[in-house]
């Protein structure tokens, strides 16, 4: 009988698997490759920890280890099902959701097969969802959702820069490692959830997309002297909703 099948406690299995696939602290190694049954037939790489001094800058994956979570598919089916134990990760460049079961079998879900998903790492919840009337081609991250008032989302972009190191024996140039840089684009959804606008985090832009709320924006800035960033933009939206669209 396969050793894995003898492990009746799934969490004991995950503990053993976790120890097995993670390299020693401070070292870098390639992920193991294995067939990907199910939605993809190609081979996939297991995300692993990377030494930031010698390895990649940033991270191709959403998290540095397999994590708990769930996925809602396009047909509304949710995984894991009851009493099913799965771990997840997300490729930020290719928009692939990675899944691994208790027998270390892996597969991926491309973006056109997923409606939404969540991954939980150290009690931090990462939520991604598609809003079909905006686009079916990318995920949005909810920052603040309101049924009656304004809502705020952001889209994650991860730019990949491949290593380009050269050494002719006398001089060297370029970097030995790949770089992954995250940036965000913000989406303001208007009351009624039928209209949206992309927003740069600049005061002039925020005032323009919320020109009908000029009085409330002025009130907010009178109470809060600050620069526009994600947190202050969220504060403005919440202030307007509290005044005009209280729950």
Residues 134 and 148 in one domain: no
pLDDT in tens, 71-85: 999 999 999 999 999
Residue of higher predicted confidence among 37 and 210: 210
Examine the domain organization and report whether 76 and 164 are in the same domain.
Answer: no
Based on the domain organization, do 201 and 93 belong to the same domain? no
pLDDT category, 19, cuts 50, 70, 90?
very low
Mark whether 5 and 91 lie in a shared domain.
Answer: yes
Do residue 59 and residue 74 come from a single domain?
yes
- Per residue in 21-74, pLDDT tens? 443 333 223 333 233 333 443 444 554 534 333 455 678 999 989 999 999 999
Kindly state whether residues 87 and 102 are assigned to the same domain.
yes
Same domain, 26 and 127: yes
- Same domain for 32 and 125? yes
Same domain for 105 and 170, yes or no, is no
- 1 and 68 both lie in a single domain: yes
Both 25 and 135 in one domain: the answer is yes
- Contact between residue 10 and residue 36 where contact means Cβ atoms under 8 Å apart: no
Number of domains in the chain: 2
Which tens digits make up the pLDDT trace of 97-106? 999 999 999 9
Q: How many CB atoms lie within 10 A of CB 69?
A: 24
Final residue before a domain boundary, out of 139, 171, 206: 139
Q: Which of 139, 159, 184 is the last residue of a domain?
A: 139
Q: What pLDDT score does 5 carry?
A: 41
The 10 Å Cβ neighbour count of residue 131 is 19
Q: What is the pTM of this model?
A: 0.74
HEC string of the chain equals: CCHHHHCCCHHHHHHHHHHHHCCCCCCCCCCCEEECCCCCCCEEECCCCCCCCCCCECCCECCCCCEEEEEEECCCCEECCCCCCEEEEEECCCCEEEEEECCCCEEEECHHHEEEEEEEECCEEEEEECCCCCCCCCCEEEEECCCCCCEEEEEEEEEEECCCCEECCCCEECCCCCEEEEEEEEEEECCCCCCEEEECCCHHHHHHHCHHHHHHHHHHHHHCCCCCCHHHHHHHHHHHHHHHCCC
Q: Which of 139, 173, 203 is the last residue of a domain?
A: 139
pLDDT of 195 strictly over 50: yes
pLDDT of 153 > 80? The answer is: yes
CB atoms < 10 A from the CB of 15, how many?
12
Nearest of 39, 44, 27 to residue 73 by alpha carbon: 39
Q: Are residues 146 and 237 in the same domain?
A: yes
Q: Which domain holds residue 30?
A: 1-139
């Amino acid at each position: 009988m396969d050793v894995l099948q003898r492990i009746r406690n799934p969490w004991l299995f995950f503990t053993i698997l976790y120890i097995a696939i993670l390299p020693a602290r401070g070292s870098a190694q390639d992920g193991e490759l294995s067939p990907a049954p199910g939605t993809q037939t190609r081979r996939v790489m297991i995300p692993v920890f990377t030494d930031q001094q010698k390895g990649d800058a940033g991270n191709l994956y959403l998290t540095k280890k397999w994590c708990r979570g769930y996925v809602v598919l396009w047909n509304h089916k949710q995984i894991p099902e009851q009493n099913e134990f799965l771990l997840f990760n997300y490729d930020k460049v290719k928009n692939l959701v990675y899944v691994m079961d208790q027998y270390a079998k892996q597969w991926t879900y491309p973006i056109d097969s997923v409606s939404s998903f969540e991954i939980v790492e150290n009690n931090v919840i990462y939520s991604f969802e598609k809003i079909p009337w905006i686009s079916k081609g990318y995920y949005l991250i909810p920052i603040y959702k309101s049924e009656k008032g304004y809502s705020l989302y952001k889209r994650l972009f991860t730019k990949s820069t491949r290593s380009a190191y050269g050494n002719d024996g006398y001089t060297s140039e370029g970097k030995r490692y790949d770089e992954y840089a995250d940036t965000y684009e913000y989406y303001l959804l208007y009351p009624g959830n039928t209209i949206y606008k992309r927003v740069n985090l600049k005061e002039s832009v925020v005032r323009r997309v919320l020109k009908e709320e000029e009085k409330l924006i002025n009130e907010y800035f009178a109470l809060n002297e600050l620069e526009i960033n994600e947190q202050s933009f969220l504060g403005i939206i919440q202030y307007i909703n509290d005044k005009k669209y209280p729950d």
